[in-house]
């Protein structure tokens, strides 16, 4: 650490959490900052990141590591875990979260829960059920010791606005339930969600995510001298937004939380997205950025430096902190007995019965189960894609004896949108490697482009992402590559094309639709990325 570095030079480059890391919830305990983000259908749920300077973050684990904390089997694409709210009071960490079981049609079938832990690394308590009236719950710890839960309320009735306002109810820790009257804090003729309450000086402040988590996303505020209201709106429509700044590199800015530094400064963690132009899509998903903020003389929150636009650079609170540094190579040789925290599965915990690094040391062994369209038992693990320039590579030992068995490399958005470079078996050709694309639920295979690989001892697979274009290749030795014809559209793996709220992931998987749990052994997995000079 260089003690001579200036505050101006010591800065964070946004996004601080790159790739699929939406809905940040941030808290400081002593000198330590902790941040949690949404994971939707991915398991384990709610990653926890740690930092000492707000710029350099390291994942230290997940809050929801067991099925009893989050039963996600059968949840739809972009259902599951929404918007965790992390807080700390009286020596205890709290996380509130939503499990979304249905998000189509007029209804939102959701349950809101609370878990606690004596340490940020757990163990986390069994979940306490709160309510089901809407999503995005958060917990406010008032100075008098009372605790209050806010969440948005959903209205399923015909001819009613679905986002029916923000409600407040007291939480009784001793009884483990909500109690007392429900207060309506505010309603708007706009999408409002992600509520968070703060007390500053003489006012209670209600921070909202407004405009929907897309191109019109924003953060707005209201305040009141009484917790239960009425709340007056900020005379400035938005504290933060990119809706009126279409040329900014950070778009969809909104859904944030405040944190105060030890020296009294204030920062705002918020979500954002980096679009590909054209076609103005964001396959990396919603990411996490940070902005310096301050309170004005008349008691309103504003971005430091003026205006309401998200900045790509943010001054750090600690002038002795080094500039943020990010790795450009992520390689896993599967030499450890446990998978690293960066790996995630779909809807269920990673269990040794279908994924382990111990049966064949130095390899990840996966046993085939259901298809990539399944909402229940997929044998797939994946990591976030964090940049628009990346190559993904793996090597697999796999000997299928039926077309019902396949294994390989996947670029995945959801069950209806993914690219799959897979090894399988054909009755006439024998063992082959080829590409299958699933876009909008329609599967396309390219049998004329398949490679017959009966004499390959090991199969090397690669995907090269170059902005909007992604190409695929295979090799028998990892040196001489045979590229499959054509370029495919990486931007289709995005909410802007596919709908939903997640981001593109890269991983490995195996299927056995015969039910015999065919084995695929992966020697390594790596993602090499190029980070733009301008951040």
Residues acting as catalytic residues = 23, 193
Structure tokens at 65: 């590591």
- 407/265 Cα distance (integer angstroms): 51
Is residue 198 left, alpha or beta, with left meaning phi > 0 and alpha meaning psi from -120 to 50?
A: beta
How many CB atoms sit inside 10 A of residue 337's CB?
10
CB of 526 closer than 8 Å to CB of 364:
no
Structure tokens at 347: 């809807």
Please report, to the nearest 10 degrees, the dihedral formed by the alpha carbons of residues 474, 476, 477, 482 taken in order: -40
CB of 97 closer than 8 Å to CB of 82:
yes
How many CB atoms sit inside 10 A of residue 441's CB?
11
- 121/95 Cα distance (integer angstroms): 12
Rg of the chain over CA atoms, in angstroms? 24
Which residues, at least 6 apart from 277, have a Cβ–Cβ distance to it below 8 Å?
A: none
Structure tokens at 524: 């390594």
- 531/388 Cα distance (integer angstroms): 8
The residue among 190, 251, 244 whose CA lies nearest residue 496 is 251
The residue among 507, 474, 472, 497 whose CA lies nearest residue 487 is 472
Which phi and psi angles does 270 have, rounded to 5°?
Answer: -150, 165
The residue among 428, 483, 427, 433 whose CA lies nearest residue 456 is 433
- 510/381 Cα distance (integer angstroms): 10
How many CB atoms sit inside 10 A of residue 345's CB?
23
Kindly write down the DSSP assignment for every residue of 370-392, as one continuous string: B-TT-SS-BEEEEEE---SEEEE
End-to-end CA distance of the chain: 21
How far from the centroid of its chain's Cα atoms is residue 281's Cα? 17
The residue among 325, 310, 293, 304 whose CA lies nearest residue 249 is 310
Structure tokens at 525: 């997995």
Instruction: Please work out, in degrees rounded to the nearest 5, the angle formed at the alpha carbon of residue 78 by the alpha carbons of 405 and 106.
Output: 125
Consecutive H or E run containing 209: strand 203-210
What single DSSP character describes residue 498?
H
At 347 the three-state DSSP class reads coil
Q: How many CA atoms lie within 13 A of 265 on its CB side?
A: 17
């Amino acid at each position: 650490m260089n003690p001579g570095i200036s505050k101006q030079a010591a800065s964070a480059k946004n996004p601080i959490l790159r790739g699929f890391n939406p809905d940040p919830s941030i808290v400081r305990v002593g000198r330590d900052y902790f941040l949690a983000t949404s994971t939707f259908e991915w398991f384990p749920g709610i990653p926890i990141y740690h930092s000492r300077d707000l710029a350099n973050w390291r994942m230290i684990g997940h809050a929801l590591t067991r099925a009893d904390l989050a039963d996600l089997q059968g949840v739809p694409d972009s259902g599951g875990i929404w918007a965790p709210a992390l807080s700390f009071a009286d020596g205890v960490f709290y996380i509130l979260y939503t499990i979304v079981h249905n998000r189509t049609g007029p209804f939102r079938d959701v349950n809101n829960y609370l878990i606690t832990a004596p340490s940020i690394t757990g163990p986390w308590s069994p979940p306490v059920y709160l309510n089901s009236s809407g999503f995005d719950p958060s917990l406010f710890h008032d100075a008098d010791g009372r605790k209050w839960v806010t969440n948005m309320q959903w209205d399923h009735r015909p001819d009613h606005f679905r986002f029916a306002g923000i409600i407040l109810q007291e939480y009784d820790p001793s009884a483990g339930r909500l109690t007392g009257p429900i207060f309506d804090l505010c309603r708007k003729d706009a999408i409002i969600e992600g509520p968070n309450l703060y007390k500053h000086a003489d006012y209670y402040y209600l921070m909202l995510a407004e405009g929907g988590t897309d191109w019109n996303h924003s953060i707005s505020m209201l305040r009141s001298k009484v917790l239960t209201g009425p709340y007056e709106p900020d005379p400035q429509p938005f504290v933060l937004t990119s809706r009126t700044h279409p040329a900014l590199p950070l778009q969809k800015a909104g859904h944030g939380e405040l944190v105060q530094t030890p020296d009294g400064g204030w920062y705002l963690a918020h979500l954002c997205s980096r679009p590909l132009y054209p076609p103005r899509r964001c396959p990396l998903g919603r990411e996490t950025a940070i902005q310096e903020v301050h309170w004005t003389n008349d008691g309103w929150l504003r971005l430091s430096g003026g205006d309401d636009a998200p900045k790509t650079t943010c001054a750090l609170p600690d002038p002795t902190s080094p500039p943020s540094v990010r790795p450009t190579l992520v390689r896993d040789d599967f030499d450890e007995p446990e998978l690293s925290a960066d790996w995630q599965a779909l809807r269920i915990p990673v269990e040794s019965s279908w994924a382990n690094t111990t049966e064949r040391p130095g390899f990840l062994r996966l046993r085939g189960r259901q298809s990539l369209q399944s909402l229940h038992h997929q044998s797939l693990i994946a990591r976030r894609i964090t940049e628009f320039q990346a190559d993904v590579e793996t090597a697999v030992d796999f000997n299928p004896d039926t077309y019902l068995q396949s294994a390989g490399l996947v670029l995945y958005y959801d069950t209806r949108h993914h690219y799959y470079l897979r090894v399988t078996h054909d009755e006439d050709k024998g063992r082959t490697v080829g590409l299958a694309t699933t876009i909008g639920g329609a599967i396309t295979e390219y049998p004329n482009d398949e490679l017959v690989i009966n004499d390959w001892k090991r199969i090397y697979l690669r995907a090269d992402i170059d902005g909007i274009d992604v190409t695929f290749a295979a090799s028998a030795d990892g040196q001489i590559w045979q590229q499959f014809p054509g370029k495919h559209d990486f931007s289709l793996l995005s909410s802007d094309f596919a709908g939903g709220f997640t981001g593109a992931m890269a991983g490995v998987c195996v299927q056995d639709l015969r039910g015999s749990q065919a084995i695929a052994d992966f020697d390594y997995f790596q993602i090499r990325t190029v980070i733009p000079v301008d951040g």
